[in-house]
Amino acid sequence: MPDASVANLFRNMAQGVHEYLAESLRICSVYLGIAVIVTVSMGFALPGLRDQALQVHKALLTALAPSSMQSGTESDVGSELGSDTASAIAMAVPTAPASNATGMLGPARVAPPVPKKPAMVATGPQAEALRNYISRKYKVAYDATGPLLNTVYKVSREKQLDPLLVLAVIAIESRYNPLAESHVGAQGLMQVMTSVHQEKFDAVGKTALDPVANIGVGATILRDCINRRGSVDGGLACYVGSTGPDDNGYGAKVQAERRRLALASGIALARD
């Protein structure tokens, strides 16, 4: 009898374990099936949603983009960045910018003007790599990167700035969102404070949300900041609105992105 009791005990235990494992496997199978269904459904749905979002953004920004961005800048720097440009700015609108750069020109020591240096030139594969990097990282429609880079190179040449520096400022300020606005009133690609610099936009008859005008005014402010502070790092601190050298890491972020742009495109960094 004791042997029979022990046998029954082990049989009951084995049956309990078997039922527990069977139930666990059933539950796992159900959840796995749900996960597969959700994954497959999202795989079909997301590409369509993404295409629709890009189409909406493109339609919106096409209506807002100035004609100069569509065609005028192609002839100015086509030899530098190629002729494959879009008919309008068509940038996907990302999240709000992480920083709220003001571009304020507060009290600062007046430094001698920085010696002029030729603007950098990106040709062929370098331009293509630069466009691909910006398009991929910042979710910018590829056909918008042509006129964007043409404008940046044209303005940078006029202001004697490194184009990669201007592109890095745009990246940190707005993540290439031409409609970006901060809670302190900074607007556009380079997050210019219109309360301080509205007259610069009035002078060209444009608004701060006009991509070409915003890059032009932002680059002018940056050039003035660099001249006033005597260095690029000091100029970046000035651009973000710092009255001293402490800019809460803003300059380091811009310089880091500048190096990433250079690495991605194969363009040598200019010496500051």
Domain contains 246:
yes
High-pLDDT (> 70) share of the chain, %: 65
Helices 163-174 and 232-239, axial angle in degrees (round to 10): 30
What's the chain's average pLDDT?
A: 77
- The per-residue pLDDT for 116 is 47
Residues 101 and 223 in one domain: yes
Average pLDDT over residues 110-135: 70
- The per-residue pLDDT for 169 is 98
Helices 142-159 and 73-81, axial angle in degrees (round to 10): 90
Residues 107 and 214 in one domain: yes
- Distances from the Cα of 170 to the Cαs of 13, 149, 257, in angstroms? 68, 11, 10
| DSSP conformation class of 181 | B
Residues 49 and 72 in one domain: no
**Total number of domains constituting the chain:** 2
Taking only the tens place, the pLDDT of each residue in 211-270 is 999 999 999 999 999 999 999 999 999 999 988 888 999 999 999 999 999 999 999 988
Question: In this structure, are residues 156 and 166 in contact, taking their beta carbons and an 8 Å threshold?
Answer: yes
Question: In this structure, are residues 167 and 264 in contact, taking their beta carbons and an 8 Å threshold?
Answer: no
Higher per-residue confidence, 211 vs 45: 211
Chain position carrying tokens 């796992």:
28
Average pLDDT over residues 71-86: 43
d(CA 258, CA 268): 11
Residues 110 and 157 in one domain: yes
Domain contains 270:
no
Domain contains 271:
no
Question: In this structure, are residues 88 and 70 in contact, taking their beta carbons and an 8 Å threshold?
Answer: yes
Q: Tell whether the torsion through CA atoms of 154, 189, 258 and 159 is positive or negative.
A: positive
Q: Find the DSSP H helices in 65-193.
A: 67, 73-81, 125-137, 142-159, 163-174
- The per-residue pLDDT for 267 is 92
Taking only the tens place, the pLDDT of each residue in 134-153 is 999 999 999 999 999 999 99
Residues 51 and 112 in one domain: no
Question: Which two three-digit tokens encode residue 102?
Answer: 């003001």
226 burial class (0-12, 13-18, 19+ CB within 10 angstroms)? buried
d(CA 84, CA 198): 33
pTM of the model: 0.62
Chain position carrying tokens 């569509």:
70
CA 242 to chain centre: 23
Question: In this structure, are residues 144 and 187 in contact, taking their beta carbons and an 8 Å threshold?
Answer: no
Domain assignment of residue 13, given as a range: 1-64
Which of these ranges, 11-20, 101-110, 165-174, 247-256, has the smallest mean pLDDT? 101-110
3-state secondary structure of 91: strand
Domain contains 26:
yes
Residues 50 and 120 in one domain: no
Domain contains 209:
yes
